[in-house]
């Protein structure tokens, strides 16, 4: 005899497991695309390559080259002698969807 509480626990456990597996598979596909990304050098040919791409955008690429930090470089806590920089990026998208609550586009 199975009680309704046990059925509820089993159902919620299956639902959460399915949700987490779906999220895992989605992130695994993204990681596979990132790992297969082409490696490009930062040189004079890069702007021409970007302008020739669809939508003037390269979805996943690995850029290799020398960068200089604006202030001090960041040192890794996990690997000796590894330094990095932070790129400041601002992306602003305009949405053209009617928001009925705020009554604007």
Q: Is residue 73 part of a domain?
A: yes
Categorize the per-residue pLDDT at 15 as very low, low, confident or very high, splitting at 50, 70 and 90: very high
Q: Is residue 18 part of a domain?
A: yes
Please state the pTM of the whole predicted model.
Answer: 0.48
The tokens 């020398």 sit on which residue?
A: 66
Q: Note the pLDDT tens digit of each residue in 59-90.
A: 778 888 887 888 888 898 998 988 888 777 66
The domain in which residue 42 lies consists of 4-84
Q: Is residue 93 part of a domain?
A: no
Q: Are 74 and 85 contacting, i.e. CB atoms less than 8 angstroms apart? A: yes
Output the CA torsion sign for 68, 71, 76, 81.
positive
| CA separation for the pair 74, 96 (Å, rounded) | 39
Q: Is residue 100 part of a domain?
A: no
Q: Is residue 96 part of a domain?
A: no
């Amino acid at each position: 005899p199975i009680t309704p509480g046990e059925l509820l626990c089993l159902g919620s456990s299956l639902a959460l497991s399915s949700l987490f597996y779906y999220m895992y598979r989605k992130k695994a596909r993204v990681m596979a695309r990132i790992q297969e990304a082409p490696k490009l050098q930062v040189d004079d040919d890069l702007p021409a390559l970007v302008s020739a791409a669809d939508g003037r955008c390269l979805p996943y690429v690995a850029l290799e080259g020398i960068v200089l930090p604006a202030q001090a470089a960041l040192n890794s806590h996990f690997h000796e002698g590894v330094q990095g920089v932070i790129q400041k990026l601002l992306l602003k998208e305009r949405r053209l969807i009617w928001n009925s609550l705020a009554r604007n586009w």
